[in-house]
Amino acid sequence: MPLPDTMYCAEQINIPPELPDILKNFTKAAIRTQPKDVLLWSATYFHALCKGERLPVKDRLEMNVATQKTDTGLTPGLLKTLHKQLSQNTTCSKEELQKKWKGLCLPSDQLETLLSLGSFSSEIDWMEFFALGCSALGGTLMSSLKFACEILTEDEEDSAARIPFDTFGKIYTYLAHLDGDMQQDQIDEFLNSLQPQVELQHGMIKPLDFIHQKHMD
């Protein structure tokens, strides 16, 4: 009967060369994201890493979140993470959204509220859900659109936060219709009023172009 393997010294331990970088990146991701359930989030992180999927990681630490009394709901950073994970296609399944939402340790009741507001079926238009997420963050139409610009922009942080006007128009129209108090001619009038700024910016729009519009709230 062969003797069991015996470890005599540390030099005999085989450490995969990629392990230090994996653990370093994981630690940095956890610090930036600040998950409420570290074990659940860790399992989601390594599953995504193994599958080559978008990681459930914020771009940066949201310092203001740590000071909130109830720090459990959707934040701009988490909505941006969801957008990176689910925006590859125009639609996503309800099951996939629930999976990504849970992986970020977000409350299920908040997701169910958003799904109910949008009257979504098993297949979800991602940009419509994204718009509802911005609405949950902003509370008013104006602030919701501002969040949409800040999350979707490819501009550097603390800059103009420009996004394509077509994208802005879709989000604005969807939220305005959902509100129910605005007629289509009012929606068209507002979008047409922004055209001069949009043309100057080569089809882009930024919060300063619409933030002072009175009828939006």
Q: In this structure, what DSSP letter does residue 212 have? A: T
Q: Is 91:123 a contact under the CB 8 Å cutoff?
A: yes
Q: Is 134:148 a contact under the CB 8 Å cutoff?
A: yes
Q: What is the pLDDT of residue 167?
A: 97
Pairwise CA distance, residues 155 & 153, whole Å: 5
Report the DSSP pairing between strands 123-125 and 163-164: unpaired
Write out the two tokens for 199: 């043309």
pLDDT tens sequence across 22-43:
999 999 999 999 999 999 999 9
Q: Which residues contact 94 (CB under 8 A, 6 or more apart)?
A: 115, 120, 121, 122, 123, 124
Res. 164: pLDDT tops 70: yes
Q: In this structure, what DSSP letter does residue 92 have? A: E
Q: Which residues contact 175 (CB under 8 A, 6 or more apart)?
A: 131, 132, 134, 135, 141, 144, 145
User: Which class for 125: exposed (0-12), middle (13-18), buried (19 or more C-beta within 10 A)?
Assistant: middle
pLDDT tens sequence across 99-131:
999 999 999 999 999 999 999 999 999 999 999
Pairwise CA distance, residues 41 & 44, whole Å: 5
User: Which class for 5: exposed (0-12), middle (13-18), buried (19 or more C-beta within 10 A)?
Assistant: exposed
Q: What is the pLDDT of residue 181?
A: 78
pLDDT tens sequence across 166-185:
999 999 999 999 987 788 99
Q: What is the pLDDT of residue 192?
A: 95
